[in-house]
Structure 1
Amino acid sequence: MISIRTSRTRIVSLAAAALLLAGVVAAPPSSAQETSRAATAPATVDSAVPGVDEISSSPNLRQVANLRKQAPFDTSAAFGTDIAFQGRYAFVGNYDGFVIYDVSRPSAPTIVSQVLCPGSQNDVSVHGDLLFLSTDAPRSDDSCASTPVDRTATRWEGIKVFDISDKTNPRYVKSVQTACGSHTHTLVPAKDRRSVYLYVSSYGPSDTYVGCPPPHDSISIVKVPLRSPTDAAVVATPNLFPDGGYPGIPGEKSATTGCHDITAYPAKDLAAGACMGDGILLDIADREAPRVIERVRDTENFAFWHSATFNNSGTKVVFTDELGGGGAATCNEATGPNRGADAIYDITGRGDDRRLAFRSYYKIPRANADTENCVAHNGSLVPVPGRDIMVQAWYQGGISVWDFTDSRHPTEIAFWERGPLAADRLRTGGSWSAYWYNGHIYSSDIQKGLDVLELRDPRTWVARLIQVPELNVQTQTGYVSW
């Protein structure tokens, strides 16, 4: 993502630079795999997904739009996943591909195009005229017409690169295979701005998993030259855990066998990694050789270190615990307030002496039903200068806006949820990612498409004045604190 700090005028409005793509390596998807269509009204989801919502919310947070998933992504198996933003567009990953939305009118989003290119999770990031897609599932080949194969017969998984200069007709231009695939990736601009790096997180090696033998204690770093993206390639695979990482407790605590997610703060040459059994702080001054400078564990409450978010000043990190892998009901009294939660750490010291000091946990202060998958998941900062405020997805626990300015006493200031998918059994759904972008909150609901919400609260009003040209949440850029 372009590293931008907002000016004293409080408004940023920069156009992303156009990129000239030098050619095509992988054949573009055929018309059978790639579809473009305009949409002016929500479509009906399949009958497997109930259409009636039972909205519950605080008075300061309200839904202003919902655009349901449309064919070919209108099945219950086509999970909506992560979101990236650029100008008037939101790019939403899906287990079956990705969707580009026009959100210039947040209360009336429309679909610009849909690209059918299966391969979970299809996490997405954007930079200029390029879009990057993570595939973390064994496929028969690297095309968008590939089929799933058993891990013992893996042919391809990794990163796909698309040219999105024409938003109505994205073109697939390059693939890069990575060890153990790409569960998530983090975009880190090169210091000379001529390239971007993708820090690829993956995990779960086994002796029978082709291309992913144990040990797997590394990440893959893909370098993408912006003027010749078809030259993208893996340039490094740094080992972050030479001692093997946390061994875990079978059935209770995950062992460290790679990383799940990394969040970078390029302006500070810093990154935070959520690596299954370990939380780490990385020095990324050398983009191709990140160094672990601090590592922490929570063997009492954390089961799976899932993701990380810095505060704006880079003095805190919020780590999340995805207890149950996102498919379990953990926002209930039986689980309690400290498991499946966020953990807030202050960063103390300087340089290589920086340390992560635990301060408190945060979990939504509501008990959800045992039929609702609910746990801490993806969120972003709400850009309020001088305060640390975050919006976050909790699957069927909905969306929570909370303040962690006081690291020891985080408090919720707003929430919104639509109720369970089913009253009689647990079904996977809810908000996968909930992010603040240019005045509104956008949520990718696994089953029910794109939600847009409006937060009206005196504690956050100034955030509506801060505009950015591009947003990949795992690439934090910072904003001016007055």
Structure 2
Amino acid sequence: MTSLLRFVGTGLFACALSLSGCSDSGPGDGTMDPPEPIAELTDYVDVVPTEPCMDANSLEPRANCTDPSSFDLSGCDLAAVGALEPSGIYQATFRYSATSNFSGGFRLDTKPSFLGNAPVLNEVGPQGFFITGETYISDTSVRWYALAGCRVPEPGRVTGCFVRCTDDVPDRSGTFDARRMNLAHEEDTGAQPMRLVSETAVPVGYPVDVYVTKGHAYVVSVPRFPEEGGLSVFNVSDPAHPVFVTRVSLPKDTYWNGVWAKGDALYVASGNSGLAVFDITNPADPQYLRSLPGGAINVHTVFVDGDRLYAMSPYPNAETLLFDVASPLEPRLLSRITVPHEEDTTSYPHDAFAYGDRLYVNHTSTGYVVLDVKRPDVTPVLGTYAFSGQFSHANAVGTINGRTIAFEGGERVGAHLRVLDVTDPANIRLIGEVRKRPQTSIHNMVLKGTKLYVAWYHEGVRVFDVADPAHPKEVAAFDSFQEAHPRSTDSLYQGAIGIRVPGDGHVYVVDMSRGLLVLKDP
């Protein structure tokens, strides 16, 4: 989950991953012919709308935010709109123009919401589809967004027009395309359904990551007001019947977003105190030892590779901390790695994957960056893959058909799976991709041999055969998102978020509403 969630709130919020992936293979030698590159279309692909209710000029809106009749719906299919079921959670893309858009969600049921708050207006039924939500852009200024449904192109989808009003004055208009987030209407991908072995609620916060070792699953959570975050420990010696063991937190330190283990050490990425180190000699009773490197520092994710631990820190210095963990309970700071980026951006390392002598860093808006880390004190940039609007978030790297292949994904509306040939980091090439609904976002992934496991938020868990990396084939799937779950919200960040494949025949998944899910490995 993006580190920015802790500031903007929940209306938006061994071989495994700490919000990363793993591979069983060694670095490639580039002996096979490289696959042909494909064009980069970015995450958001603009579709020119044809809604009859749209304004000729988005800067001159005709409708207002208080009167549904102010929308001109004369050319709309109002019968279809009026028959829309007034329930479910939707994610929508809102378009002002080809270069200006945003996303948001709304919920239509007994607990309606829009943009994370109770709607100002909610009229969905035979009379039509009208929703108005509000946000505060300052202590004294309020902005409303009013939606009017116009068409139902397919089941579970509604399109129409909207107007934006700032302090009651209409100042912008556009079109929207919203899809219901259950998967009842997805086209058949040929994937086999994965079997749910067990489901266990996580007692606090939003669960976001999991690590499995010593017969126990360690689940970390970020706060969900008024609940704090922290660490929840489950005995999974019988994966069909996980047993909650204990919960761990520290005073004023509960924004815990990533977790990893090595030997008797458990490492937690804390948004408050950096790298929190626990002794799990007794796996049911983690004992806090220390936080590194000391002081107030935000560590968002962790990744362990052999005797090295990489801790990605968005704040205060946008750096990756490299520790020596040859003595797992006594990490020793070796260096602080920074990636050059534009001074006027807020780019930071969100996650990383170590493979061979290289570190593959998801550096948010700077892009996907490859570093040489043979020497901890000298880490030159070898190459970068970047595109407009990027928010690089997670990746996994392995050797397939003699070439070094990276699987990368962002975290934003439309973010999806990219397959990159990184054999020559100075010439990174896009060779394949998998897109899901344009209103959703991918999250994390694990690579085991030629099988890629993906936690894809609302799209659930997806498993791909990547033996032919340019053409990933979906072979298994599990729909984890439940729109009727009492802890589900209208946020983009809902559903399957964390994933581990420890090799015991099971896939361990963290769903932000449902908690810890154990699936049979297909």
Q: How far 1:184 moved relative to its partner? A: 2.7
Q: 1:409 aligns with which of 402, 419, 427?
A: 427
Q: How far 1:124 moved relative to its partner? A: 1.0
Partner of 1:70: none
TM-score by length of 1: 0.54
Cα distance in structure 1, aligned partners of 2:401 and 2:114: 40
List aligned pairs for 1:271-420, cutoff 5 A: 271-276=309-314, 277-297=318-338, 298-300=340-342, 303-311=347-355, 313=356, 315-322=357-364, 339-349=365-375, 354-363=377-386, 375-384=391-400, 387-395=403-411, 396-420=414-438
- The answer to whether the 8 A contact 1:107-1:452 is kept is no
Is 1:181 the equivalent of 2:254?
Answer: yes
Cα distance in structure 2, aligned partners of 1:5 and 1:403: 15
List aligned pairs for 1:142-181, cutoff 5 A: 148-149=225-226, 157-178=229-250, 180-181=253-254
Q: How far 1:176 moved relative to its partner? A: 1.7
Q: 2:200 aligns with which of 94, 104, 115?
A: 115
Q: How far 1:407 moved relative to its partner? A: 2.0
Cα distance in structure 1, aligned partners of 2:328 and 2:285: 18
Could you say which structure has the larger radius of gyration? 2
Residue-by-residue CA offset, 1:133-178 (whole Å, 9 max, x unaligned): 002216xxxxxxxxx42xxxx7x53211101122222110022213
CA 1:237 to 1:348, structure 2 compared with 1: closer, same or farther past 3 Å?
same
Q: How far 1:416 moved relative to its partner? A: 0.8
Cα distance in structure 2, aligned partners of 1:5 and 1:409: 22
Is 1:49 the equivalent of 2:83?
Answer: no
Cα distance in structure 2, aligned partners of 1:272 and 1:126: 19
- The answer to whether the 8 A contact 2:300-2:312 is kept is yes
Partner of 1:222: 278
CA 1:6 to 1:303, structure 2 compared with 1: closer, same or farther past 3 Å?
closer
Moved beyond 4 Å, runs of 4+:
2-8, 75-78, 458-461, 470-473
CA 1:458 to 1:233, structure 2 compared with 1: closer, same or farther past 3 Å?
closer
Cα distance in structure 2, aligned partners of 1:7 and 1:431: 24
Is 1:134 the equivalent of 2:220?
Answer: yes
Cα distance in structure 2, aligned partners of 1:420 and 1:5: 28
Cα distance in structure 2, aligned partners of 1:77 and 1:126: 35
Alignment-mate amino acid for residue 211 of structure 2: S
Cα distance in structure 1, aligned partners of 2:15 and 2:416: 30
- Give secondary structure in 1 for the equivalent of 2:427: coil
Cα distance in structure 2, aligned partners of 1:5 and 1:342: 18
Partner of 2:503: 469
- The answer to whether the 8 A contact 1:399-1:415 is kept is yes
Alignment-mate amino acid for residue 181 of structure 1: T
CA 1:271 to 1:76, structure 2 compared with 1: closer, same or farther past 3 Å?
farther
Cα distance in structure 1, aligned partners of 2:196 and 2:114: 19
CA 1:5 to 1:392, structure 2 compared with 1: closer, same or farther past 3 Å?
closer
Partner of 2:270: 202
Alignment-mate amino acid for residue 349 of structure 2: W
Q: What RMSD, in angstroms, separates the aligned Cα atoms of the two structures? A: 3.9
Residue-by-residue CA offset, 1:98-120 (whole Å, 9 max, x unaligned): xxxxxxx9733122222222422
Q: How far 1:316 moved relative to its partner? A: 0.8
Residue-by-residue CA offset, 1:226-280 (whole Å, 9 max, x unaligned): xx3233111222325x7x7xxxxxxxxxxxx221112111x3x112221111123
Structure 2 spans left out of the alignment, 5+ residues: 1-13, 17-21, 27-86, 93-112, 117-189, 476-500, 510-522
Alignment-mate amino acid for residue 158 of structure 1: G
CA 1:415 to 1:233, structure 2 compared with 1: closer, same or farther past 3 Å?
same
Partner of 2:38: none
Partner of 1:90: none
Q: 1:260 aligns with which of 296, 300, 303?
A: 300
Residue-by-residue CA offset, 1:413-454 (whole Å, 9 max, x unaligned): 210112422xxxxxxx31111332353222222112122333
Identity in percent = 17
Partner of 1:102: none
- Give secondary structure in 2 for the equivalent of 1:408: helix
Residue-by-residue CA offset, 1:282-315 (whole Å, 9 max, x unaligned): 211222232222223334266222111111x2x1
- Give secondary structure in 1 for the equivalent of 2:89: coil
- The answer to whether the 8 A contact 1:274-1:280 is kept is yes
Q: How far 1:472 moved relative to its partner? A: 9.4
- Give secondary structure in 1 for the equivalent of 2:211: strand
Cα distance in structure 2, aligned partners of 1:169 and 1:183: 25
Q: How far 1:346 moved relative to its partner? A: 0.8
TM-score by length of 2: 0.50
Alignment-mate amino acid for residue 322 of structure 2: L
- Give secondary structure in 1 for the equivalent of 2:284: helix
- Give secondary structure in 2 for the equivalent of 1:355: coil
Alignment-mate amino acid for residue 469 of structure 1: G
Alignment-mate amino acid for residue 206 of structure 2: S
